[in-house]
A and B are shown apart, each in its own frame.
Chain A
Amino acid sequence: MIACLGIEKRFGEKTILNRIGFEVPRGEVVVVIGPSGSGKSSLLKCIGGLSPFDRGLVRIGETKIHGSLSPEGPPSAATLRELRLKAGMVFQQFHLFAHMTVLQNVIEAPMQVLGLTRKQAKRRAEQVLMKVSMGGLAGRYPASLSGGEQQRVAIARSLAMQPQCVLFDEPTSALDPETVGDVLGVMKELAREGMTMLVVTHEMSFAREAADRVLVLDAGALIETGTPEKIFRAPDHERTRAFLKRVLNH
Chain B
Amino acid sequence: MNVFHSIRRLCFRLAWAALLLYAGTPSPVSAAALVYGADAEGGAPYIFPDPQNPEHLIGFEVDLAEALAREMGRSARHAQTDWDSLIPSLVRGDFDIALNGIEWTEARERKVALSRPYYIYSQQLVVRAGDPSIQSFADVSGKRVATLKGTAANDLLDETPGAQPVLYEGQVEPYRDLALGRVDAVLLDTPIAAYYARSQPGLRYAGKPLAPGKYVIAIRKGDTALLAGINAAIASLLDSGELHRIYARWGLWNEAQRGLENPAQAPAVSEKSAESLWFFLPLLARGAWVTLVLSLIAMSLAITLGLVLALMRRLGGPLLRPLAVGIIEFIRGTPLLLQLYIIYYGLPGIGIRLDAFTAAVLGLGINYAAYETEIYRASIDAVPHGQTDAALSLGMTPWLLYRRILIPQAVRTALPPMTNDFIALLKDSSLVSIITIVELTKSYNMLAVSSMRFLELGLLTAALYLLMSFPLSLLSSRLERRLAPS
Chain A residues within CB distance 8 Å of chain B = 45, 48-50, 77, 81, 84-85, 87-89, 91, 93, 95-99, 108-109, 112-114, 143, 154, 157-158, 161
Contacts and interface: CB of A to CB of B under 8 A. Distances in A.
A158 B393 contact: yes
Given A50-B389, A112-B396, 14 more contacts: A50-B393, A81-B397, A96-B390, A97-B387, A97-B390, A99-B409, A108-B394, A109-B394, A109-B396, A112-B400, A113-B394, A113-B395, A113-B400, A157-B394
B404 A88 contact: no
A113 B386 CA distance: 19
Given A91-B386, A93-B386, A108-B404, A50 B396 contact: no
B392 interface: yes
A50 B392 contact: yes
Contacts of A45: 389
B395 A89 contact: no
Given A97-B405, A99-B408, A99-B409, A84 B393 contact: yes
User: What 4 pairs between A and B have smallest CB-CB spacing?
Assistant: A95-B386, A109-B394, A95-B390, A89-B393
Contacts of B389: 45, 50, 89, 91, 95
A157 B393 CA distance: 11
Contact of B390 (A49, A85, A91, A99): A91
Contacts of B394: 84, 108-109, 113, 157-158, 161
Contacts of A99: 408-409, 412
B408 A109 contact: no
A108 B401 CA distance: 11
11 contacts: A45-B389, A81-B397, A91-B389, A95-B387, A97-B387, A97-B390, A108-B404, A109-B395, A112-B396, A112-B400, A161-B394
B486 interface: yes
Interface string B370-406: 0000000000000010110111111111001000110
Interface of B: 384, 386-387, 389-397, 400, 404-405, 408-409, 412, 486
Nearest to B398: A77
Given A98-B409, A108-B404, A112-B400, A161 B395 contact: yes
A49 B395 CA distance: 10
B392 A143 contact: no
Contacts of A114: 395
Contacts of B486: 143
A49 B389 CA distance: 10
Nearest to A157: B394
A211 B188 CA distance: 93
Contacts, number: 62
Contacts of A87: 393
A157 B391 CA distance: 11
A111 to B, nearest CB: 10
A201 to B, nearest CB: 18
Nearest to B412: A99
Contacts of A98: 387, 409
Nearest to B383: A98
Contacts of A109: 391, 394-396
Nearest to B393: A89
**Which residue of A50, A91, A98, A157 has the most chain B CB atoms within 10 A of its CB atom?**
A98
Contacts of A84: 392-395
Contact of B404 (A50, A96, A112, A143): A112
A184 B412 CA distance: 35
Of the listed residues B390, B394, B397, B486, the one surrounded by the most CB atoms of chain A closer than 10 A to its CB is: B394
B396 to A, nearest CB: 6
A247 B397 CA distance: 39
A112 B397 CA distance: 10
| A48, A99, A143 — most chain B CB neighbours (10 Å) | A99
A241 B486 CA distance: 44
A95 B404 CA distance: 15
B395 A85 contact: yes
A91 B393 CA distance: 10
Q: Identify the interface centre among B389, B400, B409: most chain A CB within 10 Å of its CB.
A: B389
Contacts of B390: 89, 91, 95-97, 154, 157
A89 B391 CA distance: 10
Contacts of A158: 393-394
Contacts of A81: 395, 397
A77 B412 CA distance: 30
Nearest to B384: A95
Contacts of B384: 95
Contacts of A88: 393
A117 to B, nearest CB: 17
A49 B394 CA distance: 11
A218 to B, nearest CB: 25
Contacts of B408: 99
A87 B386 CA distance: 17
A158 B394 CA distance: 7
Nearest to B409: A99
A246 B404 CA distance: 43
A109 B396 CA distance: 7
Contacts of B397: 77, 81
A211 B445 CA distance: 81
A25 B462 CA distance: 75
Contacts of A93: 386
A87 B389 CA distance: 13
Nearest to B389: A50
A193 B255 CA distance: 109
Contacts of A49: 392-393
Nearest to B411: A99
Nearest to A108: B404
A95 B392 CA distance: 12
Contacts of A85: 395
Contacts of A113: 394-396, 400
